Amino acid sequence: MTLRMHFRPKVLASTVIALSVVAVVVLANGWRTRAARRAQHPTFIGSATCAQCHNAEYAAWKTSQHSLAMQNAQPGAVLGRFDSTRFTDAGITTTFFRRDDRYVVNTEGADGRLHDFDVRYTFGVFPLQQYLVELPGGHVQALLTAWDSRPAAQGGQRWFSLNPGAVVEHSSEFHWTGRQYNWNYMCADCHSTAVRKNYDARTDQFHTTMSEINVSCESCHGPGSAHASWGQYPGWIRHLFWNTDGLPAQLAERRGVHWSIDSVSGNARRNRPRESDREIETCAQCHARRSHIADGYTAGKRLLDYYAPLLLTGDLYYPDGQQHDEVYTYGSFLQSKMYHAGVTCADCHDPHTQKLRRPGNQVCAQCHRTAKYDTPAHTFHPAGSTGARCVSCHLPDTTYMQIDPRHDHSIRIPRPDLSVSLGVPNACNRCHTNRDAQWAATEVRTWYHRTPDGFQRFATAFAADDRRQPHAADSLTAIATDQTEPAIVRASAVARLAQQPEPVSQQAARAWAQDKNPLIRLAALQVVETFPPDARRPIALPLLSDSARAIRQEAAWLLAPISAQITSPAQRRAFQRAASEFVASQQYNADRAPSRFALGAFYAQLGQLDSATTEFHAAIKLSPRLVQAYVALAAVLQEQGRVPEAIAELQQAMTIAPNDPQVAALLRSLTTRAR
């Protein structure tokens, strides 16, 4: 009997479809597995690869200053006149000329003599352009004579000094060949993509690398290999099997967000709260005054794992939080009402061109009703005048690097009354220079029939601290515990309390060390450092396992003097991990004397005296005028019983700082003991 297989057409079609779906699922899962493996270790692929799919964004970026942040010194990139032009400042004449296809600068070198130096790179583009020279050992240095690239009608098209009239010894670290103007440490991380400093402490050489010479796509989006792989699959496959696009930096805070302007207040409200600071922290990598604590940052990683932002200290900011020194943007913006309301950088700035999303006052009109705010009734200045520009009053600029005006992003209400009482600047008198602050304060009070408070309310407390007034500690404590204050303001108040003579209670320090904001936890450890070592333990021990590397490292530093008393195996492991991170951080910055000094002090607290002396010697070699390194070295040498060597180090310190009481007292003590 013959058996026959009978298939109905519909059954056959269903079977084929089912098998096809299974095959697609199997293949797609295989693709997804391979892509996931690649996503674990993404690599940099270059902006030209990005342009293949994102041509519009690439074209916009090519018009930006990011794309011109650093370039090879070649025609089209070099803006300055290298036609044997001479420029003299502080007794040094610098000549700029061409030699074949090279751009050359003849100026004073590290030996105090004139030499020819080949320009290797341009740095920046507008309103000024600097030039970089590579010295032996991979030390790339920034010349202090720069090109003013503004139009001649604005005073540009000339050479000028970034430090005019300053006489700097050729052996000083503030000479252009010195460590304060070293590109590898000071500049590279923000002007190129995926910079790896690669400093060799044994040879004092840099082997610095980068994936691209400028600030490219992957500076903000992270390494793109996984994203490029993801993009190769059909759209329906991507949507079916992936929940991200493979980019490490998921800059999605603005996705699906809209702002609605209230008809009564004239101000806008976000349709939902901003739930993360990913975009802002991505910008903060470069647009923040911060210290670099670890190698290997790429966009999308936590800021405080690689950088420690500086707070609102008296040397950087005025007491009311206005920018004073060159602080860039992050620290100012975090204290603003706009940040508090949920605004991100890209709400105002196009992330690819870096230009405003709309020109002039129109960018503010995205969230503030024009009929209420862009009128003389609000500005008290004629329409179209300088005084009617939103930025004139709310984002006044300060000029840095002689010719570079930068807006203060704390976005504040002008307070000339604080100029009267505290001596801080105000927007009114920046324009009305022929009037005093009292006049401006009277005008504002006349306009509003009161003195407006504004969003920032900490000026009096911070001013009292700057002036070391007796009630400052109480005022700072009030700011530090006020949950309505911006986190950076609270953190700054906490950090300032660490410098106050009045002791902070352990209960308050513990509360701040448990705050949800990492900046406040980090600042709390500065307070804890003022405690005796035993009192630090209950507060700092839990922070050895904090989510932020900057906090873990600081906790290890504080616990080093009592590390031998940490007996719990789990706590001991946590300390060892955090201590390793602290050591790695200082070794990453081993080209800087303060880092070598800090590492020496850390080893000394751990009882590793030979390692401590090595680091103190290294700090002195890098910065021969670092007096505290001589003192610390002498203390360690004394503890090792090497008193004559300790005396010799202190005698050297006396030649540098003959009036230093600490050096003199220690030297007298050791000399007496040696007799």
Q: What is the DSSP string of 393-405?
A: HHS-EEEETTTEE
Residue 3's pLDDT band (boundaries 50, 70, 90)? Answer: very low
Same domain membership, residue 265 and residue 133: no
Question: What pairing do the DSSP bridges indicate for beta strands 145-148 and 158-161?
Answer: antiparallel
Q: Are 108 and 92 in contact (CB under 8 A)?
A: yes
Dist CA 3 CA 674 (whole Å): 113
Dist CA 112 CA 502 (whole Å): 49
Q: Which pLDDT value is given to residue 411? A: 97
Contacts of 613 (CB under 8 A, 6+ apart): 600, 633, 636, 637, 640
Residue 582 lies in a domain: no
Q: Which pLDDT value is given to residue 35? A: 53
Residue 178 lies in a domain: yes
Task: Compute CA 449 distance to the chain's CA centroid, rounded to the nearest angstrom.
Answer: 41
Among residues 397, 413, 429, the one where a domain terminates is: 413
Q: Are 339 and 486 in contact (CB under 8 A)?
A: yes
Same domain membership, residue 300 and residue 406: yes
**What is the DSSP-derived secondary structure letter of residue 52?**
T
Counting other chains too, the contacts that 75-82 makes at CB distance below 8 Å and 24 or more residues apart are 77/122, 78/103, 78/119, 78/122, 78/129, 78/131, 79/122, 79/125, 79/129, 79/147, 79/149, 80/129, 80/131, 80/147, 80/159, 81/147, 81/157, 81/159
Same domain membership, residue 271 and residue 181: no
Give the tens place of pLDDT for each residue, 425-476. Answer: 999 999 999 999 999 999 999 999 999 999 999 999 999 999 999 899 999 9
Dist CA 476 CA 495 (whole Å): 9
Residue 343, amino acid: V
The percent of residues in the chain predicted with pLDDT above 90, rounded, is 90
Task: Compute CA 529 distance to the chain's CA centroid, rounded to the nearest angstrom.
Answer: 24
Residue 224 lies in a domain: no
Tokens encoding 62: 């090519």
Same domain membership, residue 397 and residue 305: yes
Counting other chains too, the contacts that 93-97 makes at CB distance below 8 Å and 24 or more residues apart are 94/143, 94/145, 94/159, 96/159
Beta bridge partners of 133: 119, 141
Q: Which pLDDT value is given to residue 608? A: 97
Q: Which pLDDT value is given to residue 12? A: 53
Show the CA angle centred on residue 308, arms to residues 397 and 209, nearest 5°.
Answer: 90
Residue 8 lies in a domain: no
Query: Residue 159: how many CB atoms within 10 A of its CB?
Result: 17
Same domain membership, residue 273 and residue 164: no
For residue 24, pLDDT over 60 is answered with no
Q: Which domain holds residue 109?
A: 70-191
Shortest CA distance to 593 belongs to which of 556, 619, 567, 574?
619
Same domain membership, residue 344 and residue 267: yes
Contacts of 59 (CB under 8 A, 6+ apart): none
Shortest CA distance to 46 belongs to which of 194, 156, 145?
194
Mean pLDDT (whole number) for 23-47: 66
Phi, psi torsion values for 212, nearest 5 degrees: -145, 150
Total domains present in the chain: 2
Give the tens place of pLDDT for each residue, 243-292. Answer: 889 999 999 999 999 999 999 999 999 999 999 999 999 999 999 999 99
Place of tokens 């590579």: 134
For residue 214, pLDDT over 90 is answered with yes
Residue 74 lies in a domain: yes
Phi, psi torsion values for 490, nearest 5 degrees: -60, -45
Counting other chains too, the contacts that 384-391 makes at CB distance below 8 Å and 24 or more residues apart are 386/431, 387/431, 388/361, 389/360, 389/361, 390/360, 390/361, 390/364
Question: What pairing do the DSSP bridges indicate for beta strands 114-123 and 307-309?
Answer: unpaired
Give kind and range of the element (H or E) at residue 489: helix 487-497
**What is the DSSP-derived secondary structure letter of residue 608?**
-
Beta bridge partners of 116: 106
Q: Which pLDDT value is given to residue 39? A: 57
Q: What is the largest CA-CA distance in the chain?
A: 121
Place of tokens 């490490």: 248
Cis peptide bond N-terminal to 503, omega within 30: no
For residue 10, pLDDT over 70 is answered with no
Mean pLDDT (whole number) for 349-353: 97
Mean pLDDT (whole number) for 400-409: 98
Q: Where are the alpha helices (DSSP H) in 41-95?
A: 47-51, 55-62
At residue 567, the 3 state secondary structure works out as: coil
Hey, CA dihedral for 281, 282, 283, 287, is it positive or negative? positive
Residue 369 lies in a domain: yes
Same domain membership, residue 140 and residue 271: no
Q: Where are the alpha helices (DSSP H) in 517-642?
A: 518-528, 533-540, 549-559, 569-588, 593-606, 609-622, 627-639
Q: Which pLDDT value is given to residue 480? A: 97
Q: Which pLDDT value is given to residue 2? A: 41
Same domain membership, residue 186 and residue 324: no
Residue 361 lies in a domain: yes
Among residues 191, 224, 251, the one where a domain terminates is: 191
Show the CA angle centred on residue 208, arms to residues 45 and 146, nearest 5°.
Answer: 100
Same domain membership, residue 283 and residue 138: no
Q: Which pLDDT value is given to residue 41? A: 86
Among residues 393, 413, 433, the one where a domain terminates is: 413
Phi, psi torsion values for 157, nearest 5 degrees: 60, 50
Tokens encoding 296: 């290997």
Same domain membership, residue 174 and residue 81: yes
Q: Which pLDDT value is given to residue 33? A: 56
Using CA atoms, how far residue 490 sits from 309, 476, 508, in Å, is: 14, 9, 13
For residue 51, pLDDT over 90 is answered with yes
Same domain membership, residue 169 and residue 280: no
Contacts of 236 (CB under 8 A, 6+ apart): none
Same domain membership, residue 407 and residue 269: yes
At residue 468, the 3 state secondary structure works out as: coil
Q: Which of 180-189, 287-296, 371-380, 660-669 has the lowest mean pLDDT?
A: 660-669
Q: Which pLDDT value is given to residue 37? A: 54
Dist CA 279 CA 216 (whole Å): 16
Dist CA 259 CA 112 (whole Å): 60
Residue 56 lies in a domain: no
Q: Which pLDDT value is given to residue 143? A: 98
First and final CA of the chain: distance in angstroms?
121
For residue 354, pLDDT over 80 is answered with yes
Q: Are 591 and 184 in contact (CB under 8 A)?
A: yes
The length of the chain, given as a count of residues:
675
